[in-house]
Amino acid sequence: MSRQNKLIQSPPYPVEQALKQLGENLRLSRIRRNMTIADAAERIGTGPRAVMDAEKGKAGTGMVVYAALLWLYNQLDQLEEVGDPARDREGMALESQRQRQRVRKPKDLDSDF
């Protein structure tokens, strides 16, 4: 008997909402391109169930399905910006607090070989 991942069964509410919004966005992108679920699935090399699950924002859907759909809809560049360290204000603030307060003068190199 396989154990179920608790995160997939019950993700944090903000994660669940973000996935649902992503799914709705992907669905709208597909509809705007006048594509059926079967068309999208065939073009990214998966089955219709994977596309339907992604459009519903199901937590168990593989990241590759979301990425492939973004690629199909010419929106993959948006994924590349996700988690960009340059946009991590909180992380940069924490990092700057941990930096040393003073810099020590380097010791002279011993040139006696």
Residues 23-42: pLDDT tens digits? 999 999 999 999 999 999 99
Chain segment 54-92, per-residue pLDDT in tens? 999 999 999 999 999 999 999 999 998 898 899 999 988
Domain tally, the chain: 1
Residue 104 forms part of a structural domain: no
pTM of the model: 0.77
Residue 74 forms part of a structural domain: yes
Residue 113 forms part of a structural domain: no
Q: Can you give the residue range of the structural domain that contains 49?
A: 6-98
Residues of the chain with pLDDT > 70, as a percent, come to 86
Long-range own/partner contacts, residues 55-64 (CB < 8 A, 24 or more apart): 55/23, 55/24, 55/26, 55/27, 55/30, 56/20, 56/23, 57/16, 57/19, 57/20, 57/21, 57/22, 57/23, 57/24, 58/19, 58/23, 59/7, 59/8, 59/9, 59/11, 59/15, 59/16, 59/19, 60/8
Residue 31 forms part of a structural domain: yes
Residue 109 forms part of a structural domain: no
Chain segment 90-101, per-residue pLDDT in tens? 988 888 887 655
Report the CATH number that the domain containing residue 64 is assigned in CATH.
Answer: 1.10.260.40
